[in-house]
Structure 1
Amino acid sequence: MKLKIRIAGLLFVTGIIAGVFSIVPAIDCPQYLTEAAKNNTEVIMGAVFQFIISLTYSGIAFLLYPILKKYDTSLALGFLTFRIIASTLLIIGTIVLLSILVLSEEFTKIPHKNTLNIEVLGNVLKMTRDYINHVFMILVLCTGNFLLYILVFKSKLLPQWFPIWGVVSTLLSAIASFLVLFQVIEIITTEYLILNAPTAIIELSFGMWLLFKGFDKKVLLVNE
């Protein structure tokens, strides 16, 4: 059990690190149709790290589920389910990212007077990726995290301030995604990053805590 908890902690940390390297400025800039092809290695590496994130999401859920279900089966199953959905959405987003790269490479090969259709398709793909990665995947992930923090709060597997901070950060991330959905703010802006920073901090802290301290031993022993 201790090994599973530590591996889950390592996956939390890995997911945060991979998240930093999954950012692709060439795709997020207004000139993405030309910049993506020029920076194809950057785009491919971003896709690789995004895929790694998806593996950490599902890996964490599968490792923690057997432990968490001892305290609340419904919340544990909900956490597992929403993590799997988030992982799936992230893989879809990765495929869309690589599709934008292919489109960019085709865009650079044809005369600019004939690029209207590609520009329209590019805009559709980019908006699809943005909505998947920064709205629906985040909302699904937030739902799973909310269930996790409620379970941890009820079971007292971690200090009580941990799940409280987690719930607050989850709500802030959900608000950020809704603001993007309704076009109040854009992604990769100061407002968006500020609203999501608490989630990144709590996920990193959660991972480090599991990696070096684990769940409360007294609580674990009661349910052995």
Structure 2
Amino acid sequence: MKLLKNSVKLAGILIILGMVTGILSIASAIDSPKYLTEAATNTMQVTIAAFFQFILSLTYVGFAILLYPILKKYNQRLVLGFLSFRIISGVVLIIGSVILLSILVVSQEFVKSSSENQWSFEAFGNVLKITRDYINHIFMVFTISIANLLLYILFFKTKLIPKWLSVWGILGTILSIAASVLLLFNIVDVISVEYLALNAPTGVFELVLGFWLVIKGFKKVIPQKKPI
């Protein structure tokens, strides 16, 4: 029993750690319109961002692995789906980290190359940057959102956390998916008030959920057996 409670607390810590590493994985030099020159002059910033994005992928997967043995007692299908999509999102994040470092290399070569050859590095860099944006802000969000929806639906059914918290998580996740869909069709930009506003409920919810699991934990750990 104590081991299960500690696992839930550790899962809450991983949520909080994931939020911190997510912030540290932001590379403003890469997000700049002049990223081909700024990335090369901010090598350490980009490298650190790639490192923390890798750590973020581990927190995503670790969170699911910690909760899987506990939650599978309630609904194995939902939990297996949750674990699977969390693993996929972790892999997608790792791919994003590799692409981020690749953009850095292209930026360094762009700065060193002559003006006649820069167009090729610029074209390749644009492809990598667009690919990274799709991976980080669309496909990763889709996979992690599906995983979270399955988890929050399970929370709602089992009442492991208060229902109002589960509903908040479900609605916030739907808004995050909507933000990525709008981004996919170029209706909003990544750095825009609309995109941030749609993702804000999810960000605040995850912070609350992390502290809730650390302080309160689950209401119950073992499913109640039905009378014979």
Q: Secondary structure at the match of 1:112?
A: coil
Name the residue aligned to 2:103. Answer: 100
The one of 126, 131, 134 equivalent to 1:131 is: 134
Name the residue aligned to 2:24. Answer: 21
Name the residue aligned to 1:174. Answer: 177
Name the residue aligned to 1:200. Answer: 203
Amino acid at match of 1:105: Q
Does residue 34 of structure 1 match 2:23? no
- Large movers: runs of 4+ above 6 Å: none
Measured against aligned partners, the alpha-carbon deviations of 1:167-218 in whole angstroms (never above 9, x if no partner) come to 11000100010111111111122111111111111111111111111000xx
The one of 97, 109, 114 equivalent to 1:111 is: 114
TM-score w.r.t. length of structure 2: 0.95
Measure the CA separation in 2 of the matches of 1:62 and 1:53: 14
Question: Sequence identity of aligned pairs in percent?
Answer: 53
Measured against aligned partners, the alpha-carbon deviations of 1:98-151 in whole angstroms (never above 9, x if no partner) come to 000000000010112221111110000000000000000001110000000000
Uncovered stretches (5+) of structure 1, i.e. residues with no partner = none
Measure the CA separation in 2 of the matches of 1:18 and 1:64: 20
Report which stretch shifted further, 192-201 or 144-153.
Answer: 192-201
TM-score w.r.t. length of structure 1: 0.97
The one of 65, 70, 75 equivalent to 2:73 is: 70
Report matched runs for 1:44-59 at 5 Å.
44-59=47-62
Name the residue aligned to 1:189. Answer: 192
Task: Tell whether the 8 Å contact from 1:70 to 1:223 is kept in structure 2 after alignment.
Answer: no
Task: Tell whether the 8 Å contact from 1:6 to 1:211 is kept in structure 2 after alignment.
Answer: yes
Q: Secondary structure at the match of 1:113?
A: coil
Task: Indicate how the Cα distance of structure 1 residues 221 and 140 shifts in structure 2: closer, same or farther if over 3 A, else same.
Answer: closer
Amino acid at match of 2:221: L
Measure the CA separation in 1 of the matches of 2:80 and 2:7: 17
Name the residue aligned to 1:220. Answer: 221
RMSD: 1.0
Measure the CA separation in 2 of the matches of 1:66 and 1:223: 16
Give the number of equivalent residue pairs.
Answer: 222
